[in-house]
Copies of this chain bind each other. A is one copy, B any other.
Amino acid sequence: MIIQDQMTVIAQSRIAENIFEMQLAGKLVGDITSPGQFVHIRTADSFEPLLRRPISIASVDKEAGQMTIIYRAEGRGTTILSEKRDGDVVDVLGPLGNGFPLEETESGETAILIGGGIGVPPLYELSKQLTAKGVKCIHVLGFQSSDVVFYEDEFKALGDTHIVTVDGSQGTKGFVTTVLAELGDNFSTYYSCGPMPMLDAVQRLYVGKKGFLSFEQRMGCGIGACFACVCQTTEGTTKPYVKVCSDGPVFPAGMVAI
């Protein structure tokens, strides 16, 4: 169920250049059903900034009733969020959307998780859950440069992890596809989240493979009512369009017209 929760900031820290990790506690955590879901955050009790900000859930600790989000403080809303202190209360709407399907990869099979920049966070919870289920996860994580790389160790603890940077300051120089091309297609499923050009490139590389992509769109309501976040679908799909917020953000590869 979607609830509007007044969550408490348990911890916040800067984990890379302009990248923040925030832990939040509240009953909303109990309703999270799958990795890749997101929350819609009101960053200030003011009319400016007005709209909520969609941020993926990066990891969940149901027992502690806590979740972690990782975000880049860039514009007004996320900058304000980055100034919250422990004990502050944040208005969070969620959990929203449909996450990555775990059931599409069987125990013993291999999955490739491909993330770009601030698309990396939801893959962490995904990898935790896939690994727990017995899936072998390979992570290919692309960033602009070494300053903004985060969670390398966390992903390494779960499986092979390849860091790629555009400027070559860490890991392989280039794009995620540079590494993917070398890894070959000896895997059963791929899961990806990142900027549109990256999703497009990944999808083209893996034509015919089973994959799931998480999309971004500017949002109004976040729950499917305002038609702000609509994407056209490709021919042959039953629906003429999908809403990223409520039908997605994760869709099977090939479904959304990029």
Interface residues of chain A: helix, strand, loop or mixed (majority): loop
Q: How large is the interface on A (under 10, 10 to 19, 20 to 34, 35 or more residues)?
A: under 10
Q: Does A46 contact B (CB under 8 A)?
A: yes
Give A48 to B48 CA distance when docked, in angstroms: 6
Give A44 to B46 CA distance when docked, in angstroms: 10
Interface string of A171-207 (1 = CB under 8 A from B): 0000000000000000000000000000000000000
Nearest CB in chain B: distance from A100 CB, A? 37
Give A44 to B48 CA distance when docked, in angstroms: 11
Nearest CB in chain B: distance from A77 CB, A? 11
Give A44 to B44 CA distance when docked, in angstroms: 11
Interface string of A17-46 (1 = CB under 8 A from B): 000000000000000000000000000101
Closest to A44 in B: B46
Which A40-84 residues sit within 8 Å CB-CB of chain B? 44, 46-48
- Specify which chain B residues have a CB less than 8 angstroms from the CB of A47 in the assembled complex: 48
Give A154 to B144 CA distance when docked, in angstroms: 61
- Specify which chain B residues have a CB less than 8 angstroms from the CB of A44 in the assembled complex: 46
Closest to A48 in B: B48
Give A47 to B44 CA distance when docked, in angstroms: 12
Which A199-232 residues sit within 8 Å CB-CB of chain B? none
Nearest CB in chain B: distance from A238 CB, A? 44
- Specify which chain B residues have a CB less than 8 angstroms from the CB of A48 in the assembled complex: 46-48
Nearest CB in chain B: distance from A95 CB, A? 28
- Specify which chain B residues have a CB less than 8 angstroms from the CB of A46 in the assembled complex: 44, 46, 48
Which A132-149 residues sit within 8 Å CB-CB of chain B? none
Give A47 to B47 CA distance when docked, in angstroms: 9
Mark A residues whose CB is within 8 Å of B.
44, 46-48
5 A–B pairs (Cβ distance < 8 Å), ordered by A: A44-B46, A46-B46, A46-B48, A47-B48, A48-B48
